[in-house]
Amino acid sequence: MSWDERSKSLMRVGDAQGRDRWKVDLPMLTPEHFYSRDPITLHEAVGTANPGTWQMLGELSVDPYGFKRSDDFDYESYEEFMSEYLVVLTRRSIKWSKLLHGKSQVERNVKVKRYIRKGVPNEHRASIWMAVSGSQEQMEKNPGYYQSLLQAQHDPKLMEAIHTDLHRTFPDNVQFRKTADPCLQKVLYNVLLAYGHHNKDVGYCQGMNFIAGYLIIITKDEEKSFWLMEALLGRILPDYYTLAMLGLKTDQEVLGELVKAKVPTVWRAMVEHNVMWTLVVSRWFICLFIDILPVETVLRIWDCLFYEGSKILFRVALTLIRHNQAYILQAQNLPDICDRFKQITKGAFVEDCHTFMEK
C-alpha cells in the first residue's frame, strides 16, 4: 500500500448515543509531511479537511501524532532516519496487507508473532491490538456496555480526580488542547470515567491518563480505547494501578533480579550506592515508557505488549541498561545514577525504533 493510499484513511471515534461520537474527515498524514519544515507541504496535505483542524495541524514542529517537537529538534538526523525507516514501513505495510487480505482479525500464531515484533503499520495498529489482546472479542460479547458505564450515576470523587489530570495530559500535543476541534480531552475524560466505573478496585490513578491518551491517539475510537485499556490494566498488567500496586512492585523486583543475572556490574553498583530500583525505573513501568522513549519506539513496544504481555517491558529495560552499562558505571553517587538512568532513554539508540527493537 502506497503512502498516497494510506493518506486517505479517515480518523474516527465513537458516539454518545451509539458507536459514532464524532467523525473527522482528516487525512492520515505521512511522516514526510510532518518532518518537512515547509508550511505549504503540510497545508497542501491537509487539503479540505475540517477547518477546525487547520490550526491544530498547521504547526511546523508537530509530529505525526500531534506532539510538538522541541526547539532543538534535530530535523536533519530525523530525516536521515525516516528516509530508511519509511522503506521498512512500506515493506511491512505490504506484508501485513497480504496477511490480512482485507480482514481486521488475525489468529495468534508464530507468523503473526514475528510480524508484530517487526512492527505493525499505523493503518493496521488499532485492529491488530484489538484482535491479539482479546479486546475485539470482549467488545463484541458486551454490546452497549461502554455506553451503559457512561450513562451510570457517576462518583463525584472519581470525576474530580480525572478532571484534575485532564489538563496535565500531553500538554505538548495539539490534539489535547481545549481549542482543538475535536478536542481529545473530552474523549479522554469519557474513557477514564467509564474505566473507573468498570474497575472500582482501581478507579483512577495518575499514569492511567497517559495510557488512555495514547490509545485514543492510535485508535481514534472511544470504545476501542476503553476495551484496550481493560485488557492492559485488567489482564496484561494486573495490580499495576491498584492502591497497593503489588504488580508494579513485583515486576520492579523481578527486573532487579534479571539485572543481577544479566548485567551484574550494574546490579553491584546499585547496591553500593544504595539505590532502590523503584527510584530509577518506576516511571518506565507505570507509564509503559510514555514520555520516556520516543513515540514511535513506545508504539513498537506496545505492539509486542498486547501480544506477548509484560515480558517485553523487562526486555526493553534490560536492553537500555545493558547497552549503557559503561555509562551507568561512571556514576559517583545516588543522584548521579538517577540522572544517568534518565539520560539513557534519550539519543539515537532509542530514536531508531527498528534497530532498538531488534536488540
Over residues 103-116, the pLDDT tens digits come to: 767 888 999 999 99
What CA–CA distance (Å, rounded) separates 304 from 132? Answer: 10
Residues 19 and 95 occupy one common structural domain: yes
Nearest to 164 by CA among 208, 211, 202, 201: 208
Q: Does 15 score more than 70 pLDDT?
A: no
Q: Which of 185, 205, 235 is the last residue of a domain?
A: 235
Residue 110 lies in a domain: no
Residue 280 lies in a domain: yes
Q: What does the pLDDT read at residue 16? A: 33
Q: What does the pLDDT read at residue 60? A: 56
In tens, the pLDDT along 20-49 reads 433 333 334 444 443 343 333 333 343 333
Residues 326 and 252 occupy one common structural domain: yes
Residues 207 and 188 occupy one common structural domain: yes
Q: What is the DSSP string of 184-201?
A: HHHHHHHHHHHHHHH-TT
Strands (DSSP E) contained in 292-348 are none
Q: In the chain, how many domains are there? A: 3
- Secondary structure (3-state) at 66: coil
Residue 352 lies in a domain: yes
Residue 269 lies in a domain: yes
Q: Which of 185, 212, 235 is the last residue of a domain?
A: 235
Residues 251 and 353 occupy one common structural domain: yes
The mean of the pLDDT values for the chain is: 85
Give the pLDDT band (50/70/90) at residue 219: very high
- Secondary structure (3-state) at 323: helix
Residues 261 and 298 occupy one common structural domain: yes
What CA–CA distance (Å, rounded) separates 183 from 164? Answer: 17
Structural contact between residues 162 and 204, judged by C-beta atoms closer than 8 angstroms: yes
Residues 227 and 277 occupy one common structural domain: no
What CA–CA distance (Å, rounded) separates 40 from 48? Answer: 14
Note the pTM of the prediction, 2 decimals. 0.83
What CA–CA distance (Å, rounded) separates 252 from 270? Answer: 14
Residue 158 lies in a domain: yes
Could you tell me the CATH number of the domain that includes residue 216? 1.10.8.270
Residues 28 and 83 occupy one common structural domain: yes
In tens, the pLDDT along 247-273 reads 999 999 999 999 999 999 999 999 999
Q: In terms of pLDDT, which residue wins out, 70 or 204?
A: 204
C-alpha cell at 179: 481549542
Residues 251 and 302 occupy one common structural domain: yes
Q: What average pLDDT score do residues 297-322 get? A: 98
Burial zone of 285 (CB within 10 Å; 0-12 exposed, 13-18 middle, 19+ buried) = buried
Q: Which of 182, 214, 235 is the last residue of a domain?
A: 235
Q: In terms of pLDDT, which residue wins out, 259 or 201?
A: 259
Residue 286 lies in a domain: yes
Residue 43 lies in a domain: yes
Residues 250 and 354 occupy one common structural domain: yes
Q: Which domain holds residue 47?
A: 3-100
Residues 337 and 266 occupy one common structural domain: yes
What CA–CA distance (Å, rounded) separates 70 from 224? Answer: 31
Residue 175 lies in a domain: yes
Q: Nearest-5° angle of CA 95, CA 100, CA 103?
A: 155
Residues 253 and 198 occupy one common structural domain: no
Residues 191 and 288 occupy one common structural domain: no
